[in-house]
């Protein structure tokens, strides 16, 4: 498996609180991605990064922000969590944007 870890693996939080999820890679891959997975919707891209400090929006970016201050870490922040953001969040990496993506183990987030 590609060297991808996500933290925390599980989190319960309350509506209105900020939440930050971390994705860490040891592969030195340039591209990193955040997806969410919900029943009936498959995986949907939230944001992605194509280098340090270089990020772009995906399909469902509203309510989320990201940051990448170093190659190995990609942070996803929910500034003010809502119940609709209850989901499983997956991070993925690829060596270049045009290559196979490898996924992390996921973070289960419950917003009450």
Partner 1 sequence: DAKTTQPPSMDCAEGRAANLPCNHSTISGNEYVYWYRQIHSQGPQYIIHGLKNNETNEMASLIITEDRKSSTLILPHATLRDTAVYYCIAYNYGQNFVFGPGTRLSVLP
Contact residues for partner 1, defined by CB under 8 A: 4, 40, 42-45, 48, 58-59, 90, 92, 97-98, 100-106
| Cα 52 to Cα 2, 17, 56, 61, 110, distances in angstroms | 20, 27, 12, 19, 29
| CB within 8 Å of 62: residues ≥ 6 apart | none
Q: Choose between 48 and 75: whose C-beta lies nearer to partner 1.
A: 48
Q: How far is the CB of 52 from partner 1 (least distance, A)?
A: 20
Rounded Cα distance between 30 and 100, Å, is 12
Q: How far is the CB of 16 from partner 1 (least distance, A)?
A: 28
Q: How far is the CB of 80 from partner 1 (least distance, A)?
A: 26
């Amino acid at each position: 498996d590609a060297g991808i870890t996500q933290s925390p693996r599980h989190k319960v939080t309350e509506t209105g609180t900020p939440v930050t999820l971390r994705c860490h890679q040891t592969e030195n891959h340039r591209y990193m991605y955040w997806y969410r997975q919900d029943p009936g919707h498959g995986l949907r891209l939230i944001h992605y990064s194509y280098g340090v400090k270089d990020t772009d929006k995906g399909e469902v970016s509203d309510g989320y922000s990201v940051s990448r201050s170093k190659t190995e870490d990609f942070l996803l922040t929910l500034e003010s969590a809502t119940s609709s953001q209850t989901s499983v969040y997956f991070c993925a990496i690829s060596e270049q944007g045009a290559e196979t993506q490898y996924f992390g183990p996921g973070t289960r987030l419950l917003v009450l």
